[in-house]
Amino acid sequence: MYLVMGSLLPGMTIVVVVVSVSTVQGSADPNWCYWHIVCKIYLPIRELAARFSKSTRNPAPAGWLGRVSQDRGNEIVRIRFVRQIAACLLVSSIPVLAAPAPDLIVYGDYVLTMDPSRPEILDGAVVVDDDRIVAVGTREDIDARFVASRTLPGAGRVVMPGLINGHTHTAMTLFRGMVDDLDLMTWLNQYVFPMEGRFVTPDFIRAGTGLACWEMIRGGTTTFVDMYFYPDEIASVVADCGLRAVVGAPHIDYPSPGFKGWDDSFAAAEDFVRRWQGKHPRITPAFAPHAPYTVVPEHLRATVEKAAELQAPITMHLAEAPAETEFVSEHYQTTPVQHAARLGMFEQPLIAAHMVQLNAEDIALTAQGGVGAIHNPTSNMKLGAGISPVPEMLAAGVNVGLGTDGAASNNDLDLWEEIRMAALLHKVASGDPTALPAGQALAMATRLGAAAIHMGDKVGQLKPGLQADLIQVAVDKTRHQPLYDVTSHLVYVLDSTDVVSTVVAGTVLMEERRVLSMDEAALRKAVAERSAEIRAALAQQAKQ
């Protein structure tokens, strides 16, 4: 217990009694403490009357300072302040910092932190202040120390980090189901590239990206890595809807929407990175050369040099399909991974999407270069691209995340499907049911996924000091009974409709399945207008 006395005004005595002080367990700052105080301010009656008479001809209104009562024998007025205002007075005399009331507490019957040092907390809570997590613990511990201005109840719910989609093309939601059951190169060259040239405009990007963001918020994805045309439009939608994103500015050697070829697309990419770098806390601009078969070596080297100059990450398709492997082998006498490494691409933070066609040397180079590999199981299976050697990469120390790819080749952005698909695919591919356990698959969408996109110090775990990106999922429905192992249950039972709340940077984007940060009616109207144009074009193409 501390007793501190001091004076704010002449003749005024302030007594602050700190009856308990303790360090906040699990706080990122060991000096961040909470305290319970009893505060009384004593002022002689004559002095009080004199001060009031100087300031106004009328008596002070009742309740202006609080309830006033006379202490017997001492002729002292005691003023009780409703709130503990003395917390900000005389703190220099006490070796403590007062903890403000946090903005949000999120409760759960289970808190799955994805932090290896404390993976699961029963009947727990996560405390959020501003955009960061300040404490994680049991409900009893948290309630004893914090009173938040807002809470999300946790009965029948699991609290966990938000999911991370390491590779997608958000605006391609408008091409969802446009054409299916084709190999990658036929799909790209005969359908996707021509339709992009015809329909992709800033309005198309805004509508398609908005649709994708709405779907991801509903499914519990809080961070994604995008690479698509008109990245300024993508970044603006992300800024408005509340999600977190690495937004890649694409550049390619061929004509593309808005560009004649490499020179103008690369210049625009540089301008985009400079324009957005450090300008928004939830948006990371990146360079996004398309692939080794669409960007020549000297242009990939130029990308590396510019990314190094601006300290920006790179994201690209790499080792995706057999046709790419054959192209690189024929033209450069090596593999796609070794080709990229020779060009210096592994010297910059690289997010490599797909990573399917790999040999042992490729895997070793990927691990040595600190490359983040993004596994897209559904898209790779749908396009017949092959099966990424994920267990081998993980064993070699590669950070492997999960991605949906664009909705045109998936056909949704449901990361829960990718988690389950990854866990199952590698069991059947290897004949080993332990090849990719549930916990590892879930980590690929959270902790490992964050490391793969070079944001492991910001997101992917529920730890004090990290960004407050988290979700609540409901496990109280009849179909969820019984529940024995939370991690296994999330991977093999849960789906995106079980996500009830989504929080990014401390802001609640969805509560009780209602998206708060987007206008769904306006979004549907914009999507309907764009999709009507595409539908008419497909009908015309079918007649030819």
Please provide the DSSP assignment of 166-220 as one string.
EEE-GGGGGGTTSS-S--HHHHIIIIIHHHHHHH--HHHHHHHHHHHHHHHHHHT
Q: What is the mean pLDDT of residues 110-114?
A: 99
Whether 218 and 331 share a structural domain: yes
Calculate mean pLDDT across residues 175-201: 92
Q: What is the mean pLDDT of the chain?
A: 87
Least confident of 8-22, 60-74, 237-251, 420-434: 60-74
Domain boundaries, position 268: 163-459+513-525
| pLDDT on residue 543 | 84
Number of domains present in the structure of the chain = 2
Residue 320 annotated as binding?
Answer: yes
Rounded to whole angstroms, the Cα distance separating 188 from 195 reads 10
Instruction: State the average pLDDT over residues 38-50.
Output: 40
Q: What are the Cα distances from residue 255, in Å, to 73, 193, 228, 262, 315?
A: 92, 10, 14, 8, 20
In this model, does residue 291 exceed pLDDT 80?
yes
Of the chain, the percentage scoring pLDDT greater than 90 comes to 79
Look at residue 93 and tell me whether its pLDDT is greater than 80. Answer: no
| pLDDT score at 386 | 97
Please tell me which residue, 9 or 461, carries the higher pLDDT value: 461
pLDDT digits (tens, 9 = 90+) for 386-410: 999 999 999 999 999 999 999 999 9
105 located within any domain: no
- What is the pLDDT at residue 466? 99
| Same domain? 244 vs 386 | yes
Q: Select the more confidently predicted residue: 7 or 488.
A: 488
| 470 closest CA partner among 167, 221, 242 | 221
Where among 32, 66, 93 does a domain terminate? 93
Listed in sequence order, the residues at least 6 apart from 461 whose beta carbon sits closer than 8 Å to its beta carbon are: 113, 114, 115, 161, 446, 447, 450
Least confident stretch, 59-68, 131-140, 249-258, 342-351: 59-68
pLDDT at position 42: 38
**280 among the known binding-site residues?**
no
Do 56 and 167 have their domain in common?
no
Domain check: are 60 and 173 in the same one?
A: no
**Residue the block writes with tokens 């399909």:** 321
Q: Residue 47 pLDDT more than 50?
A: no
Q: Does the pLDDT value for residue 283 go beyond 60?
A: yes
User: What CA–CA distance (Å, rounded) separates 312 from 207?
Assistant: 27
Lowest mean pLDDT among 96-105, 272-281, 302-311, 434-443: 96-105
| Tokens of residue 53, six digits | 């008479």
Q: What pLDDT score was predicted for residue 186?
A: 92
Same domain, 180 and 56: no
Let me know if residue 200 belongs to a domain.
yes
Residues 81 and 171 in one domain: no
Torsion of the alpha carbons at 297, 298, 300 and 301, rounded to the nearest 10: 120
Q: How far, in Å, are 50, 176, 257 from residue 193 at the CA level? A: 83, 14, 9
Query: In which band, very low, low, confident or very high, does the pLDDT at 257 lie, cut at 50, 70 and 90?
Result: very high
pLDDT at 542: 82
| CATH number of the domain residue 352 falls in | 3.20.20.140
The pLDDT, as a whole number, for residue 541 is 81
Same domain, 417 and 319: yes
Which stretch of 10-14, 252-256, 301-305, 448-452 has the lowest confidence by average pLDDT? 10-14
Q: What is the pLDDT of residue 84?
A: 44
Model confidence at 75, pLDDT cuts 50, 70, 90, reads very low
Pair (79, 187) in one structural domain: no
Q: Please tell me whether residues 289 and 434 are part of one structural domain.
A: yes
Position 417 confidence tier, pLDDT thresholds 50, 70, 90 = very high
Report the run of H or E that residue 24 belongs to, with start and end: none
The model's pTM? 0.83
Condensed to tens digits (0 to 9), the pLDDT of residues 520-538 reads 999 999 999 999 999 998 8
Would you say 515 and 214 are in contact if contact means Cβ atoms under 8 Å apart? yes
Q: Is the pLDDT reported for residue 62 higher than 90?
A: no
- Retrieve residue 418's tokens: 């990718």
Chain centroid to CA 425: how far?
Answer: 26
Residue 244 lies in a domain: yes
DSSP sequence for 61-116? PTTSSSEEEEETTTTEEEEE-SS-GGGGSSGGGSS-BPPPPPSEEEEEEEEE---T
Residue 14 has pLDDT above 90, yes or no: no
Is the same domain home to 53 and 196? no
- 9 versus 540: which is more confidently predicted? 540
Quick check: is 125 in a domain? no
Residue 98 domain flag: no
Residue 111 placed within a domain: no
Residue 290 marked in a binding site = yes
340 shares its domain with 196? yes
54-58, 337-341, 455-459, 481-485 — which is least confidently predicted?
A: 54-58
Q: What is the mean pLDDT of residues 301-312?
A: 98
Give me the mean pLDDT over the 62-85 stretch.
37
Cβ neighbours for 105, distance < 8 A, ≥ 6 positions apart: 125, 126, 127, 128, 142, 146, 148, 150, 151, 152
Is 246 inside a domain boundary?
yes
Residues 237 and 318 in one domain: yes
Amino acid letter at 518? M
> Where is the domain boundary, 93, 127, 145?
93
Residue 71 pLDDT: 41
pLDDT at site 100: 53
337 falls within a domain: yes
Measured CA to CA, the distance from residue 421 to residue 404 in angstroms comes to: 11
pLDDT score of 535: 92
Judged against a pLDDT cut of 80, whether residue 68 lies above it is answered with no
According to the model, what pLDDT value does residue 92 have? 39
